[in-house]
Amino acid sequence: MSRELPDTLASVVHKTEHSGFELYITTTFYDGPKEVFVTIAREGSTLRGMLHVISMLISVALRAGVPWSELSEKLRRHKFDPVGLEYESIVHAVAAAVDACVAFYEKEKDKCLG
């Protein structure tokens, strides 16, 4: 069961480019990562919708207490057919970007929280 989050959360935004796509991954923190928002600089694409759904599912899982390390492992191990499909590498890039946000937050937590 997810718990109520405060109105204001610390967050880290990570910009990355992968397979010609510009991605912005925002990870919010409250006693660890709690929400993930992925924005792709490509209006109206199927990939944009897919990344939005993945973001929502990650956020629900985090708020329910699933550790980010477990989610990251699952995202990185998932395979898409046909092999080499560009969506597979983008999902892996999202996982890597959230990993980077979590690592940055852990290192700079005192600065992030003011």
Task: Assign residue 60 the CATH number of its domain.
Answer: 3.90.1010
Q: What is the pLDDT of residue 36?
A: 85
pLDDT recorded at residue 113: 54
Count of domains forming the chain: 1
11 to each of 27, 34, 46, 80, 84, how far by Cα in Å? 5, 10, 26, 30, 32
Over residues 65-111, the pLDDT tens digits come to: 888 888 877 776 665 555 555 555 677 777 777 777 677 767 776 66
Residue 45 forms part of a structural domain:
yes
What residues form DSSP beta bridges with 36?
Answer: 27
Residue 2 lies in a domain: no
Residue 56 covered by a domain: yes
Question: Using CA atoms, how far apart are residues 70 and 89, in angstroms rounded to an integer?
Answer: 19
Domain interval for residue 30: 10-112
pLDDT tens by residue, 10-55:
888 888 877 777 888 888 888 888 888 888 876 667 778 878 888 8
Residue 33: per-residue pLDDT? 82
pLDDT at 30: 85
Q: What is the pLDDT of residue 44?
A: 65
